[in-house]
Structure 1
Amino acid sequence: MRIVVTGATGFLGGVAARELAGRGHMVTGLGRDVERGEALERGGVRFVRADLRDQPDWLPVLNNADAVLHAAARSTLWGRWADFEADNITVSRTVAQACAARGLRLVHISTPSVYNATGLWQNVPESTPVGPRFDSPYAHSKFLAELEVTLAHPEATILRPRGIYGIGDPSIIPRLTRALRSGRLPRLVRGEVHTELTHVRNVAHAARLALEGSAPGIYNVTDGEAVPIWATLDALADALGVRRPVRYVPAPLVERVARVAELAAHLHPARPEPTLTASGVRLLTRPMTLDLTRARTRLGYVPVVHPRRGLAEVLAVVRA
């Protein structure tokens, strides 16, 4: 199969592109980072430098494709709405329309962050009503992107992987590492909080199943087993050789402080990302597990990396 992967110089896109190529597919990766593109070429992926905002530059690449994995996105809890709209909503609409016009299979990467404002935390199914409130511009933009994709390409597959991590993760582990090394991260809960994460190879596996099969609709994707957030933070602190978070500060108080920091950042001309965000606090204090029944039955999804193994690999790299 001839597959185009957008965001191929990113974390998920790069792993997925290499794994698809390793399975014998002819993969073309789109991205902006030339150095990472050269690394993709060495891994058997044809690289095309492209900014997805510039439609004429990359649309012809789709003419020789059978399917598209749209993994490119602005994935951050902080930023300007205009950028989220351009990168997540407008680009997703363009990709979906182009795939529909050419009769290409489309797998679109979204996020279960769209559930965060629903008040549901345990075994959340894809049928959960979402909106009109969202807890971050990122979640809002990704939900609107889902609507655009579904409208333009009703046969598209939409994956909602929870908390993508793994070796090379540019987001979760680096942010937690900075917080732990600063020594300013308090213990936000008295007990433990369990949540689900998704190893990057499990997301790539789910995407491959969707590309090789025919499974329109929305699918939750996780490692299939909840992990303890604060025990994992303690293990990360040990791997880094820094002090574990000990001093208890109630989460609601820290969230209020974070909101003040966000307001100050919004008022700053450069709008720098604050060290602490309300959304970030909630990720450490609210449980979240997802119902995987649909992915298991319709995609045949079974995680290929267990969370204990995946986290152990990451901690080993941190120690090194």
Structure 2
Amino acid sequence: MSGRDRLRVAVTGASGFCGGVVARAAAAAGAEVVCLGRRPGPVGESRYWDAARTPPDLTGTDLVLHLAAAVGDPPPGRGSEAAFRAVNVDGTARLLEAAGERPVVWVSSASVYAPAGPEPIREDHPLGGLTAYGRTKAAGERLALNAGAVVLRPRAVYGPGDPHLLPRLRRAVRGGRVLLPGPDVPLSLTAVENLADACLAAHSWPAGAYNIADACAYRRDEVVAAACGVPVRHVPITLTRAAATFATGIARLTRREASLSRYAVEQLTSGVVLDISRARAQRWTPRRTFADFLTSAL
């Protein structure tokens, strides 16, 4: 197949954790990859794009996989909200305008959902992000869905090179154990390889939102103990919430991300399980598990 016959895939945020894995997976699948971001991507051609300021150059591309985002658990305040909106909402608007008629797969997050009960969360569950990240991702989603994009909602993405979830858990080890607010809860997690598979398949799916996660939910305590290599001990939720309120106050004063936020406490104490049947109906099957990751990391 000649280079002119190959699918040319634009991957935004390709210098990041998820974007880098998706870019490499697209190249491995035989596509020509154009990486867009403030830093060069891991494969193919790189084009500079600051999502908060300028439209992307999508010249010559056939498909857009949009993973560029402002991420994290920032301290409350107008400054954080504005910084996240500049990328996750305004940047999305610029991307969609530049994409034109090209198919767009827009990677969102399960952080867009409002708090839920014990039942698995379906895509029609109300939105209501608890942080600047969740709120601005929800707002960006609305733009993407109105433009006819496919929106993917993974939860707690992990894998080789993960800079967020697992490092945070391992920093919580104290005295040969991890203290978590009890009781144990079920959680959905998403292997980055499963997310990459969904990104590459989703351009042919009907427009709309799709939950993306591993095949089965996990028990929180088992995952944390396995990832950290130490036992888990429970502490009262009320005590943890008080500590998070204090840490959030310090973060507001220092303008740094809180070491323990109220949002993080809610994520650890609320059983968030995603219903992935809608994506499965498109013949997507999550192939990787947390056990696979631990085995490969040893």
Give the TM-score of the pair, scaled to structure 1.
0.84
Structure 2 match to 1:105: 103
Moved over 4 A (4+): 181-185
Per-residue CA shift, 1:117-155, capped at 9, x if unaligned?
Answer: 333343111011223xx321211111011112223x1x2
Residue deviations 1:89-125, cap 9 Å, x none?
11011111221xx31000000011122x333343111
- Residue of structure 2 aligned with 1:29, choices 17, 21, 35: 35
Deviation at 1:296, TM superposition (A): 1.1
Greater helix share, structure number: 1
Aligned counterparts of 1:196 and 1:311: Cα–Cα separation in 2: 16
Mapped contact 1:150–1:156 kept (Cα < 8 A): yes
1:302 aligns with 2:285: yes
> In the aligned structure 1, how far is the partner of 2:221 from the partner of 2:255?
30
Please give the alpha-carbon distance, in whole angstroms, between the structure 1 residues aligned to 2:295 and 2:211: 24
Aligned partner of 2:85 in structure 1 is 85
Aligned residue number for residue 264 of structure 1: 250
- Write out per-residue CA displacement over residues 70-107 of structure 1, whole angstroms, 9 at most, x where no aligned residue: 001011111511111111111011111221xx310000
2:3 match: none
Say what the alpha-carbon RMSD is for the aligned residues.
1.9
CA contact (8 A) 2:70 2:88 kept: yes
Structure 1 or 2: larger strand share?
A: 2
Q: 1:35-76: per-residue Cα shift (whole Å, max 9, x none)?
A: xx3xx23xxx222233223325xx3x3121111000010111
| Structure 2: gaps spanning 5 or more residues | 1-6
The runs of 5 or more residues in structure 1 that have no matched partner are: none
Q: 2:12–2:37: 8 Å Cα contact kept in structure 1?
A: yes
2:241 alignment counterpart: 255
Name the counterpart of 1:174. 167
Question: Following superposition of structure 1 onto structure 2, how do residues 47-62 of structure 1 map, counting pairs within 5 Å?
Answer: 47-55=46-54, 59=56, 61-62=57-58
**Could you tell me which residue of structure 1 aligns to residue 65 of structure 2?**
69
Q: Find the aligned partners of 2:182 and 2:106 in 1 and give their Cα distance.
A: 35
Q: Aligned equivalents of 1:63 and 1:75: distance in 2?
A: 27
**Aligned length in residues:** 288
Matched, 1:150 2:142: no
**SS of equivalent residue, structure 2 residue 15:** coil
Aligned 1:1-320 pairs, distance under 5 A: 1-34=7-40, 37=41, 40-41=42-43, 45-55=44-54, 59=56, 61-79=57-75, 80-99=80-99, 102-115=100-113, 117-131=114-128, 134-151=129-146, 153=147, 155-180=148-173, 185-190=178-183, 192-211=184-203, 213-238=204-229, 243-246=230-233, 248-266=234-252, 268=253, 270-297=254-281, 299-314=282-297, 316=298
Mapped contact 2:227–2:294 kept (Cα < 8 A): no
Once the two structures are TM-superposed, the CA of residue 185 in structure 1 deviates from its matched residue by: 4.8
Whether the aligned pair in 2 keeps the contact of 1:7 and 1:29 (CA below 8 Å) is: yes
Contact 2:169–2:228 (CA<8 Å) still a contact in 1? Answer: no
Q: CA deviation at 1:311?
A: 3.7
Distance 1:300-1:89 versus aligned 2 partners, 3 A rule = same
Matched letter for residue 96 of structure 1: L
Measured against aligned partners, the alpha-carbon deviations of 1:197-240 in whole angstroms (never above 9, x if no partner) come to 010010010011112x14210000001211111122222232xx
